[in-house]
Structures are given as C-alpha cells and as structure tokens.
Structure 1
Amino acid sequence: MEERKTIAVIGAGAAGLMAALAAAEAGAAVTIYEKMGRPGRKIGITGKGRCNVTHVGERERFLKNMVGNGKFLYSAWNALDNDALREMLRCAGVETKEERGGRVFPVSEKAADVVAAFEHTLRRLGVAFRLKTPVQELWQEDERLCGVTLADGRREKADAVILATGGASYPGTGSTGDGYRMAEAAGHTLTPLQPALVPLEVEEEWVKELMGLSLRNVEASLWVDEKCVASEFGEMLFTHFGLSGPIILTLSRQAVMAVAAGSFVEIRVNLKPALTEEVLDKRLARDFASLGRKKAVHCLDELLPASLRPVVLDLAFINTAKEIGQLTREERHRLLELLQALPFTVTGARPLAEAIVTAGGVCVNEVDPRTMKSKKVEGLYLAGEVLDIDGNTGGFNLQAAFSTGYLAGRSAAQ
C-alpha cells in the first residue's frame, strides 16, 4: 500500500484552511501550523464580522477586480471559482446570499460560521491542528525542502510545504509578514510591500469636523497631477485623519502608489452625482429664490447633511450671515463647483498594519500559476496574500485566497 504524502501548511487563514482541505481530500496527511490560539482569525473580522466570502460574476470580472497580477489567477479560478466555493460552503452547512453590488455573505451574517465549518470539515478529514506553534523557517537541505523548523528549534519533516501565512496587515490576527521573511530566505524575490484597501490621510484640517459622517451615493474620483485616473460610486466615511469607506478603499491602492512616486494626489468628491451641472445649478437658483430672506447658513439645508453645510459654505467664501437672496452668481457658482468636486489633498495612507490587504509580496513569476508550486524551491507551494496579488474590496481577495489555497493543496497532494 502506497504511503500517504505528508504536507505541512503554514498558516490557518483562508488560503491555509482551504489548502489543507484540498490536500486532505486528495488523500494526504496534513498538519496545519498556526501561531495564534485559534484558526481563521482574519476571516473572523472580514466584512465587519459578516465575512464577504466572494463576489458573483464570471471569471473576467474577478480577474479585472484583482488589480495586482490578476492574470496570474486564471488556473486558480478554474480550480475553484465563486460558484464552487459557495457550493462547498453549502455542503459544510453554510448557506450564502448575494447582496448589493454582487457581494456574497453567509446567510447567518456570521464570519465565525465560516471558520467553524472549515474547522469541522478539516478535523473530520483527519487534519492535525498545531495551534500556538509558530514556524521559524523552512527546513532545506541541498535545495530540497525537507519540512519546517519550529520556533523552539525542533524540525518536523514533510513531503511538501504550503506557505499560506497571509500578508502584513492586521498583525493582531497573526499576519505579521513571517511568510515574506521565510520565502525570501528560501531564495524568493519580494515585490515591495505597500498597504492596499487602506484609509487615506489628507492635508485638510477641517476634515476632523466631519469625523463619523458617512455619505452614500456619492462619487469619489482620484486625481494624480491634475489628471483623473479612476472614480468610484458608493459610500464613504470621514475620519479624524481623512477618508475611509468602500469607495475610498478601492481607490487607495493607486493613491498610495502615486503619493510614493511624488505626484500631487487629490480625491474629489461629487456630492450630487445624479445631477448634471446644469440641473444642479437650476436647483440651487430655485432654492435660493424660494429662501430669499433667510440667512445664507440655511442655503444648503435641503442638499447636505448638517455637519457638512458650514464646511462647504466656508470653502466657498460665503458669509453665512448674508441673506440668501443677496448671494451673487459667482458665489452660487463656487458652491456648485464644491458640490460636484469637494477636494481633498492626499498626503499618504494609514500604516500597513491598518490595511485590509497587503500589496506586494512573493513575485508571481517565481511561482507556477498552474500549480502554485515554487520555481525556486522543490517541494514548496505558496498561496494567498503572501503572493504579490491583491484586489478590490467586495470579496475578491478572499476568493483569491480560497482559490490559490485550493490549487496549492490539490497540487501538493498529487
């Protein structure tokens, strides 16, 4: 009888859990090494604890939204696409539902249910969990991977090792960049790490006055050296340091790279994107005529949230004690411009530790996309955020982790 292949999986996040599942289903004897006290810590906080597991749509939509090396993921997607993932979860007892914009969540809206389903399935398949067991390095001899070296110096053999340690964001979940160090020590090249899907810091001090204000159905556009390079429609949030929320996070990757390149970077927010300039101007003129003798402080009462009105009026250099009927055409035009392009000067991003996703990582041209096998080290496979792959918000990054993990696990077991 043929002896079972032994596989060590480093990391019990989305990629690691899926890799272990695929390898175990293929008949391998699998051990997961996880330095935290329980698996799936980062899964547990995704989607504000609801777990945005994936996104509906065809392959091309998925690859388009994987803005960091999306083409690398063709084979991984074909191995496990969004429909296959949802069916796998359903069979494990987790029904899913589609929400606005195509995002997919568990019906229970509990990320913990997804983690529990994986853990139950893996234990049923005989996968061994080594929790609170950090791996120090990959154990190599003569350019061949022999297994793993633990933090206490002990070595444990494995026929193959799957590196699925995640990125360097949210270090409290265990993602502290260990995988990058191990991969580099084994001979892999790293693309510089940068925060992706991260809140942005802005120069304007008055943004603190808007802290906590959430805006829906607005359009944020990213301007680099006075040229519009991207725009997103949806929801955003003001913070004490700048801007956050889904549409800001989606624009953040390009913004971070532009700031790093020394460009002048702005976010301009259209507060009324459903109205053309002409229609909005007529709306303002009509409102001003009807409000005539009221003070200018009230001229935006019907258009903006209370905390935003004084900010916009101040930026338009309007004396709020002035009667609305006395506002000039030039003043109305300045308001119009601000309503359609409220500007923010981007100075940088929050630290990598606060990013949802890490951009950069192990160079994908050093990994076989058909198997997730290392081209540098025999017996090593890589999956998930440790690779130089990253995508937009909306479930794309979790799908990428699950897909690459599945392909790595299946390949390693063969």
Structure 2
Amino acid sequence: MDKIVVVGAGPAGMMAAIKAAENGASVVLLEKMKRAGKKMLITGKGRCNITNVAEVPELIKNIPGNGKFLNSCIRAFDNEDVQYFFNGIEVPTKVERGGRVFPVSDKAADVVDAMVLQLHELGVKLYTEVKVSEILVQGNKAVGVKTDDGQKFEAEAVILATGGSSYPGTGSTGDGYKMADKIGHKVVTPLPALVPLELEEEWVKDLQGVSLRNVRVTLFADEKRITDMFGEMLFTHFGVSGPIILSLSRKTAQLLEEGSFVELMIDLKPALSFEQLDARVLRDFEKYQRKEMKNALKDLLPGRLIPPILDGAYIEPDRMVNSITKEERHRLINVLKGLLVTVTKTRPIAEAIVTAGGVDVKEINPKTMESKLIKNLYFAGEVVDVDAYTGGYNLQAAFSMGAAAGNWSVWNDEEE
C-alpha cells in the first residue's frame, strides 16, 4: 500500500486523507493542534457553511483569488459531490439564502466530528499535537516529513494542507509557506482577505454596531473606481465590516500594499435615483417642516448616522427644516448617494477569515494538485494562493483541492 502523509487536519487535509484512504492507501494525518478541524468549528459563525449550490462557473466567479485554476478539481469534486459526501457520513444538509449549504443541525462540530469518525473508520492514523517543520526531499522527490522534535515520517507522497496565516489560534500560522519556500516553491506574499477595514474618520466610532442593509459600496483607488458590492455592512469602533466589506477587502489589501490612496463610497439608497431620492426627501421635509434637521431624517436613516450625514452636507443639525434651501437639499442627496470614507488599513491578517497569497498556482498541476517542481508533493487548501468570497466558496475550494490531492497522490503511481 502507498504510504501517504498529510500535513494539516483542516477541511482540505481531512478530505485529502479520506480520499487517499478510500483508494487503499495507508494514510498518516499530522495536526499540530489538540484536535482536528479547529478553524472549521468557527466557520459560518459556528454553523459551518459547507458549500454553495451555485453552478460551477458561478462558483469559480466567486473565487477571485485564482478561481480559474480550480476549474478542473472543482468539476471533479463539485458542490453536489460535497453534499453527497456529507449526507453519506450522516451529516444531512440544507440550503439557505444565497445558495449557502449548512448542516441541518447548524453545528460546525457535527461536520468536524463526522469527518474525524470517517478518518478512523478508514484506518487513517491521526496524530494531534505534532508540528511538522520540514518536507524531506531526495533528488526532486518528496519522501516524507520531519517534525519539530526530530521525528521523521517516511512517505511515498506528501500532501501539504497547513492552511494560511489567518486565525493563528486555530493553527494557521503560515508554517506551510515556510516549508514550501524552503524547498524552492514561490510563495505569493500573504495578505488578509475577508477582513474588516479601518477608517480614518473619527465619527465612525460613534456608529459602532450600526448595521446597514441594501447599500452599495464602491471601492476607489487614487480616485479611480475599482469595483463595487451590494448588500449588508456594519460600522465598528475602528471602521467597517460585514459581508460586502469583507468581499471588497481582498482588493483593498492589495491596493493598500501597492501604496494607493483608498476610499469607499457608500450609497445609502442605491434603489433610488438622485431625482427619486430628492422627491422622497421633499416628502419628509413637508412632514417635518417645523422640526430641526437632526429630527427630520429619522424615517430615512438610523439615528446615529444622521449627524455625520448632515456634517457631510454642511448643514447644522439644529437648522429648521423649512429654512433649508434647494442647494442644501441637493448637497444632502449627494451625501446620501455617496458618503465617502478613507481606508487607512485592513485589520491584522490574524483577524482575517482567509488569507490571500500562498504557494504560487503556476507551480502546481491544477488537475492533480501535485507540485510541478517536486514529484509526489501535493498542496491543498489555504496554503495555496486561492481565496474566495463568503458564502461557502472557500470550503468548497478546500474540499475540491483536498479530494484531488488525496486521489491523485494514489493514482499517480498507478499511471506510471
């Protein structure tokens, strides 16, 4: 039997170990934390967003970080395969808003426990609290791994699935990048992806906890429009977060790294044109004509958002509504349609949900996930320079890469 050593018991590593064992290999799975799947336990707010039911082209579109590279392995093990796999190990699934797939129990622990049980049933030897420090290479062939305490595990194939650099408390501390770099692989500089953003404006601190739905946020770099997102966002004590902010954060991190001046423009009423919003504001002004401006926008905005909006429009909050000129009203509409904030930095990579960057995909076979530089070395999961938006796409990518690496680590020998 082939002896396969898998490094890292996250979603990609566990799937790789399961697939290799299903193909008859003798598999050793090494995890440095006390238990497997620690990061999976916090995904989807503890519910574990396993995948998304979108068609494959849509899946790939939602993986901005080298999604096209995954075309082969996602088609070989797609979202239907993922659901079939989990249903088969007694984790029934359900589909929610946005096509997101969760376990019926809403418990990430059920997903992890079922995978660990499957590992045991297939005879995979799972060792926890074992930190791998080096991939052993002879000639141009991977022959095993070495641990921090000098222990060696020989192997006919090695699968590196150590994760990225985000949430280091779960074990993702960039170890795989160092190991890959040491044996000659190019590592694209890791940056935070799916991470909140810090803003320059002091007034955002007063908005901590204010959530906005159905807004459009446009990303600008050096006053040039880059992209936009529609959906929900949240103000925090340091800046902004929420689904659309997280989706914009990957590009934001790259732009900041390049030294660009980065701004976000928030359209608070994207469903209304300037003229339609003007008509709406006029109706409110008619309704509250004898009130002060700070009390006249309560039907339109959350209370705490009114002061910065009025400030942006250069309107004193205690001005009477019936004294507002047409020019001032139009300034107000422009702020409602384009509230500008300045991004100073992302939150630290340790707070990112996923990492952008990692082992360069140009040096990996996209069908098999085998290294193009070192035979019998495979990569899977976040250690690879692949990252996706929220919605189940990151776990789908991890499972697809893990399945490819697990299968081909066994099948390659059969082909020779």
Alignment of 1:201-350 (within 5 A): 201-350=198-347
Q: What is the distance in 1 between the residues matched to 2:265 and 2:340?
A: 4
SS in 2 for 1:374: coil
Aligned-pair CA distance for 1:324:
0.7
Alignment of 1:124-203 (within 5 A): 124-203=121-200
Aligned-pair CA distance for 1:235:
0.9
State the one-letter code of the partner of 1:284. Answer: V
> What is the alpha-carbon root mean square deviation over aligned residues?
1.0
Q: What is the distance in 1 between the residues matched to 2:323 and 2:63?
A: 52
State the one-letter code of the partner of 1:180. Answer: Y
Q: Which of the residues 101, 105, 109 maps onto 2:106?
A: 109
Aligned-pair CA distance for 1:361:
0.8
State the one-letter code of the partner of 1:265. Answer: V
Aligned-pair CA distance for 1:315:
2.0
Q: What is the distance in 2 between the residues matched to 1:378 and 1:291?
A: 74
Aligned-pair CA distance for 1:193:
1.2
Q: What is the distance in 2 between the residues matched to 1:300 and 1:96?
A: 44
Aligned-pair CA distance for 1:144:
2.4
SS in 2 for 1:268: strand
State the one-letter code of the partner of 2:147. Answer: L
Q: What is the distance in 1 between the residues matched to 2:141 and 2:97?
A: 48
Q: What is the distance in 2 between the residues matched to 1:401 and 1:123?
A: 21
State the one-letter code of the partner of 1:123. Answer: H
Q: What is the distance in 1 between the residues matched to 2:223 and 2:146?
A: 52
Question: Which range moves more in the overlay, 122-131 or 264-273?
Answer: 264-273
Unaligned runs of 5+ in 2: 412-416
The answer as to 2:387 corresponding to 1:401 is no
In the TM superposition, what whole-angstrom CA distance separates every residue of 1:71-103 from its partner, at most 9, and x where no partner exists?
111111122100110111111111111111121
Task: Kindly report structure 1 stretches of 4+ aligned residues shifted beyond 4 Å.
Answer: none
Q: What is the distance in 1 between the residues matched to 2:344 and 2:57?
A: 33
Q: What is the distance in 1 between the residues matched to 2:278 and 2:224?
A: 25
Aligned-pair CA distance for 1:402:
0.4
Aligned to 1:122: 119
Q: What is the distance in 1 between the residues matched to 2:259 and 2:184?
A: 31
Aligned-pair CA distance for 1:176:
0.3
Aligned-pair CA distance for 1:371:
0.6
Q: Given the two structures, how large is their TM-score scaled by the length of structure 1?
A: 0.97
Aligned-pair CA distance for 1:363:
0.8
Aligned to 1:52: 49
Q: What is the distance in 2 between the residues matched to 1:41 and 1:112?
A: 9
State the one-letter code of the partner of 2:389. Answer: N
Aligned-pair CA distance for 1:314:
2.1
Aligned-pair CA distance for 1:290:
2.1
The answer as to 2:95 corresponding to 1:98 is yes
Unaligned runs of 5+ in 1: none
Aligned-pair CA distance for 1:395:
1.1
The answer as to 2:379 corresponding to 1:389 is no
In the TM superposition, what whole-angstrom CA distance separates every residue of 1:237-274 from its partner, at most 9, and x where no partner exists?
11111111000010111111112222221111111112
Q: What is the distance in 2 between the residues matched to 1:233 and 1:94?
A: 32
Aligned to 1:89: 86
The number of aligned residues is: 411
Aligned to 1:19: 16
Aligned to 2:414: none
Identity %: 55
In the TM superposition, what whole-angstrom CA distance separates every residue of 1:118-147 from its partner, at most 9, and x where no partner exists?
011111111111000111111222332221
SS in 1 for 2:304: coil
Q: What is the distance in 2 between the residues matched to 1:148 and 1:87?
A: 33
SS in 1 for 2:90: coil
